[in-house]
Structure 1
Amino acid sequence: MITLYGIPNCNTVKKARAWLAARGIAHGFHDFRTQGLEEARLRGWARELGWEALLNRAGTSFRKLPEAERAGLDEARAVALMLAQPTLIKRPVLDLGERRVLGFRPELYAALFAGR
């Protein structure tokens, strides 16, 4: 089963959901702001995708963090921050079962689903 992880009011998540729906690609949606995210899953994403890529440093949630929390981040601290504030996770995360894909680009999604 394909699952799209994100928050529903994120514009990039909206684009990804619309893209999948327009092509009739069955998928579930997991709102990690309201439904939460298991630590083991987030740690797995950090290993697979890289915690630096997974942490959304460009968003307002990150910029609002005190400087002391933003400075000197490592994987353990970044994962703890993302667990505490899921809006710090770059969105969306597309879980294809065998692999995860971070972000949304129409050409990337087209290539991912070309054979389906």
Structure 2
Amino acid sequence: MIQIFGTTKCKATRAAQRFFAERGIKVQSVDLREKGLSKGELASVARAVGGMRALYDAESPRVKERGLQYSAPTEARLAELLLEDPLLLRTPIVRSGTRAAVGAAEPAWKALADAEKAR
């Protein structure tokens, strides 16, 4: 099952949902305004995409709201921040098992869709 973590206002999240719908692939959408990733999910996705920095949206308005734009958090601190405030995550996060993609990454979505169809 493919999971898409994002927000309803995010264009890239809507694009990911449309991408999979057009291919007839069912997805589970998770709105990060309501529910974040669990500690295990966050660690798994971070491993799949190259670390916590790949998940952290340093350009998001939320970073400025929280006054984090001038800090350079460690990987461990980033994990804490992302768990306590899921709106600091880059979106969408598209996940299938141990594989994941972050952001508007259509080639990666295609690989996930192909793997899902092959099941």
- TM bin, normalised by shorter chain, reads 0.7 to 0.9
Distance 1:107 1:38, change over 3 A: closer
CA contact (8 A) 2:8 2:14 kept: yes
Q: Structure 2 CA distance, aligned partners of 1:9 and 1:110?
A: 23
Give the aligned partner of residue 34 of structure 2.
Answer: 34
Percent identity at matched positions? 28
Give the aligned partner of residue 14 of structure 1.
Answer: 14
Q: Which shifted more, 13-22 or 102-111?
A: 102-111
In the alignment of these two chains, the number of paired residues is: 115
Stretches of structure 1 lacking an aligned partner (at least 5 in a row): none
TM-score (norm 2): 0.81
Q: Structure 1 CA distance, aligned partners of 2:110 and 2:47?
A: 25
Name the SS for the 2:81 alignment partner.
helix
1:70 to partner: Cα distance = 4.5
Q: Structure 2 CA distance, aligned partners of 1:114 and 1:98?
A: 15
CA contact (8 A) 2:90 2:102 kept: yes
CA contact (8 A) 2:45 2:98 kept: no
Distance 1:107 1:39, change over 3 A: closer
CA contact (8 A) 1:62 1:70 kept: no
Give the aligned partner of residue 55 of structure 1.
Answer: 56
Q: Structure 2 CA distance, aligned partners of 1:73 and 1:47?
A: 18
1:111 to partner: Cα distance = 4.2
Distance 1:66 1:36, change over 3 A: same
User: Which amino acid is 1:60 matched to?
Assistant: P
Displaced runs of 4 or more, over 4 A: none
TM-score (norm 1): 0.83
1:48 to partner: Cα distance = 3.1
Stretches of structure 2 lacking an aligned partner (at least 5 in a row): none
